[in-house]
Amino acid sequence: MGNENQAEFFAAKLSEAKIHFERALDCKHTEFDDLYPYMIEHPQFFWYKRYVAWSELLTIVKLCEELGIEWQPHFSQQQIDYVQKRVMSSKVLDYWFETNDSKEHVS
């Protein structure tokens, strides 16, 4: 895989991981729901679903860094700070979209 193809591949994977995380934040359907449909009945499901999506996002970012592929342009400065800290805190959950009433939420 050439460097250009590699960068395009990881940019696509990064975008998918970001969308997956944002859908999990918004409690929207993700492929995780299809893998574990019984989890919907449990209160801890949404926390776990978000944790899985956050882990996926961090993994893709780490691979991009190791390969020298820019990942920051896909995020706001605030989101970059959250990703670099690597800890999914309540602040990340509450302010990923800059403000709670932001129109940036995924559809």
Residue 106 resides in a domain: no
pLDDT-derived band at 106, boundaries 50, 70, 90: low
Question: Does residue 105 form part of some domain?
Answer: no
Q: Mean pLDDT score of the chain, rounded to an integer?
A: 86
Asked if pLDDT for residue 100 goes beyond 60, the answer is: no
Is 29's pLDDT higher than 50?
A: yes
Decide if 100 is inside a domain.
Answer: no
Q: Domain total for the chain?
A: 1
Shortest CA distance to 79 belongs to which of 10, 24, 17, 18? Answer: 18
In a domain, 65, yes or no: yes
Range of the domain at 89: 3-95
pLDDT of residue 47: 83
- The span from the CA of 35 to the CA of 43, in Å, is 17
Residues with Cβ within 8 Å of 56's Cβ and at least 6 positions away in sequence, in order, are 17, 20, 21
On whether residue 33 sits in a domain, the answer given is yes
